[in-house]
Amino acid sequence: MAEVVIVPDRVTAGGLVADEIAALLRRRPDAVLGLATGSTPLPVYQALRARLEGVDTSQVRGFALDEYIGIDPAHPESYSSVIAREVVEPLGLDPALIRTPPADDPDIATAGERYDDAIRAAGGVDIQILGIGTDGHIGFNEPGSSFASRTRVKTLTRQTREDNARFFDSIDEVPRHCLTQGLGTILEARHLVLLAFGEGKAAAIAGAVEGPVTAMVPGTAIQLHPHVTVIVDEAAASKLRLDQYYRDTFDNKPAWQGI
């Protein structure tokens, strides 16, 4: 089962994940990071900055989960801009080694396949950071997405476009389509780290961690993976039935295990 870590706040969550990533990069300077956008992973990237001071990050490789289709890549809310601003620049990574799904590719029908090939050629993702949508989506795999899905074009739900409208001037500006890693692609990463904060994510987290495995809640795909860490604040944990067990487990965990 997923290891569930309940933390007091997002800064603590960011620190835990950043410790793990910094240790990985000290062992393997060319490790492959699976990068997520949205507001949830920001504390991870902020905490990493301090931990990577003095560390050579020039060989770090990375693949983002998803990208909007029909948005200028230079738009500040394109995911390539977000990754450049929040991850590549502050951490001093080489932009040539950090990729987002090429949603502006003229051959969009096969762009996903080539993105998956590139992930495979890099040796696969070592640690995949994930957020979760209020409807249970991971990446942009909306409810109903196949657990075997690969990187491909998806249509965003009305709910996701409403949730993401806060990053744009109006909901009409939120793209309708995206190129997203599939659930099958995400499940190939060696370690999944799913973060969620706030009451608005409590139902999605309870469904993903403890609900029956169903394509209707794409986050339940994590139950099929052998190494998953779910890090949540108290509000996002509030609908978990086994919360006491998760607390006992983490409190009594040997320090060498990390997350």
Q: Any contact of residue 21 with ligand GLP (CB under 6 A)?
A: no
For residues 49 and 75, what is the distance between their CA atoms, to the nearest angstrom? 24
Quote the least distance from Cβ 65 to ligand GLP, whole Å.
5
For residues 130 and 72, what is the distance between their CA atoms, to the nearest angstrom? 24
Quote the least distance from Cβ 252 to ligand GLP, whole Å.
30
- Catalytic hit among 126, 135, 163, 233: 135
For residues 121 and 116, what is the distance between their CA atoms, to the nearest angstrom? 9
Rounded to the nearest 5 percent, the helix, strand and coil shares of the chain are: 40, 15, 40
Q: Which residues contact 111 (CB under 8 A, 6 or more apart)?
A: 101, 102, 103, 105, 151, 179
Q: Which of 4, 15, 16, 40 binds ligand GLP (CB under 6 A)?
A: 40
Quote the least distance from Cβ 258 to ligand GLP, whole Å.
23
Nearer to ligand GLP among residue 200 and residue 258 (C-beta): 200
Q: Any contact of residue 34 with ligand GLP (CB under 6 A)?
A: no
Cβ-based neighbour number of residue 88 at 10 Å: 21
Query: Are residues 222 and 192 in contact, defined by beta-carbon separation less than 8 angstroms?
Result: yes
Examine the residue annotation and report whether 210 is marked as an active-site residue of this protein.
no
Q: Any contact of residue 139 with ligand GLP (CB under 6 A)?
A: yes
Query: Within 46-65, which residues bind ligand GLP (CB under 6 A)?
Result: 65
For ligand GLP, which residue has the nearest CB?
Answer: 131
- Residue 187 backbone phi and psi in degrees, to 5: -65, -15
Examine the residue annotation and report whether 135 is marked as an active-site residue of this protein.
yes
Interior/surface letters 190-222, b for 16+ CB within 10 angstroms, e for the rest: bbbbbbbbbeebbbbbbbbbbbeeebebbbbbb
Nearer to ligand GLP among residue 52 and residue 138 (C-beta): 138
Query: Are residues 4 and 230 in contact, defined by beta-carbon separation less than 8 angstroms?
Result: yes
Q: Any contact of residue 132 with ligand GLP (CB under 6 A)?
A: yes
Examine the residue annotation and report whether 142 is marked as an active-site residue of this protein.
yes
Cβ-based neighbour number of residue 247 at 10 Å: 14
Q: Which of 7, 17, 18, 37 binds ligand GLP (CB under 6 A)?
A: 37
Quote the least distance from Cβ 192 to ligand GLP, whole Å.
13
Question: What string marks each residue from 149 to 188 as x (binds ligand GLP by CB under 6 A) or -?
Answer: -----------x---x------------------------
Could you list the residues that contact ligand GLP (CB under 6 A)? 36-40, 65-66, 131-133, 139-140, 160, 164
| Residues forming the active site | 66, 135, 137, 142
